[in-house]
Amino acid sequence: MKKIYVTKSSLPPFEEYVKEIESIWSTHLLTNMGEKHNNLEQELCNFLKVDNISLFTNGHLALEMALQAAELEGEVITTPFTFASTTHAIVRNGLSPIFCDIKRDTCVIDEDKIEPLITEKTSAILPVHVYGNICNVEKIQKIANKHSLKVIYDAAHAFGVEYKSQGIAQYGDMSMFSLHATKVFNTIEGGAISCNDADYMSKLYNLKNFGIKDAEHVIAVGGNAKMNEFQAAMGLCNLKYLSAQINARKLLVNVYEKELNGIEGIRVLTDKNSDIKQNYAYMPVYFDSAVLGVNRDEIANKLQENFIIPRKYFYPLTSEFDCYKKQSPDCECTTPIAKHMSENVLTLPLYPDLQSQDVLRICDIIKSC
């Protein structure tokens, strides 16, 4: 039987990609902010409803460089219920992550728990729009203004999400979108920073291109994180199909919800706030073992026996990683909800050409547990 994985990378029709890259064979311009790169920046500004986009070779380096552009010091308030990248980006910049707990219903940072964590060392808040569920962007901005903190969002999951008809990256100082193969929209590997203050654009440019201003002037100690033309070409092709793909995802999410939401002890973790335009990036489901009499791991095993490969996303918490365990306080007492969610949530398969019969089969296997 063919395995069904948690996601499947989107590819445009082969001929369309070949057509898109054909001109590269006459220009021989493979990278360094070429025509395709610049076209994609423009198209993403339109799609994401933002003014400024800087493209990167991947989302992680984009996030590291956003933190550098913001010139942070000391402590950054964030959550441990995220991908390794978020916490690593803080630590690799010589900053200390301070872990805030999350909310049970959407798994994003609990805005009411941020202020008690602020000290004189705090320089920024780095919240994550987990699963495309958005943080309380308005409250977080108020807190940041009150304490003069920067806000940089890990919006890796939130490509295309809108709040009150605005692009989600309109909120905060900067937002990072991951354009990795496994995300809603991909450029094979890739990342994008949206910033609301255009001054960040030149800083980000220097950071991703060695600080080279022109042939004889190097004005900043930058690294290299440029997106190349083949990545940008993939993005230009994939973008044409994205809206239709998000619609297809939505229909599948509706099937999951119809099948699972009536069952006591099972909860689909998508935000029901009608001000939000979702991107249906993931299908996270919470399994309450106390009610169900069966736990998340047993359900995951049962699915795998049936060639369905879900993901324990996110497990373990980043604060429990071997590389952080020693310096992190016990997450059972500092972030109990994050700890609980990481042990009881499973992300189920979801991608545009997944068949609704497969969704029904997945739900039947879960019900049989």
Ligand X SMILES: *Cc1c(COP(=O)(O)O)cnc(C)c1O
Site of interaction with ligand X (CB under 6 A): 58-60, 82-83, 85-86, 128, 154, 156-157, 178, 180, 191
- Residue 97 or residue 260: which is nearer to ligand X going by CB? 97
Q: By beta-carbon distance, which residue lies closest to ligand X? A: 59
In the complex, what is the shortest distance from the CB of residue 90 to ligand X, in angstroms, rounded to a whole number? 12
Task: Beginning with the edge strand found earlier in the chain, give each strand of the sheet holding 276-277 in spatial order.
Answer: 166-167, 162-163, 276-277
**Nearer Cβ to ligand X (36/60):** 60
Pseudo-torsion of CA 54, 57, 59, 60, nearest 10°?
-120
Nearer to ligand X by C-beta: 128 or 285?
128
| Nearest approach, Cβ of residue 99 and ligand X (Å) | 15
| Cβ at position 208, least distance to ligand X in Å | 14
Q: Give me 212's structure tokens.
A: 């080279």
Cβ closest to ligand X, residue 189 vs residue 259: 189
CB 79 within 8 A of CB 319: no
- Report the 10 Å Cβ neighbour count for 5: 16
Residues 141/144/150/156 CA torsion (nearest 10 deg): -40
Phi, psi (degrees; rounded to nearest 5) at 158:
-110, 25
Phi first, then psi, for residue 68 (nearest 5°) are: -65, -40
Shortest separation between residue 338's beta carbon and ligand X, angstroms: 14
Q: How far apart are CA 126 and CA 75, in angstroms?
A: 10
In the complex with ligand X, the residue whose CB is nearer, 279 or 292, is 279
Strand pairing report for 75-78 and 4-5 = unpaired
Minimum distance of ligand X from residue 315's CB (angstroms): 14
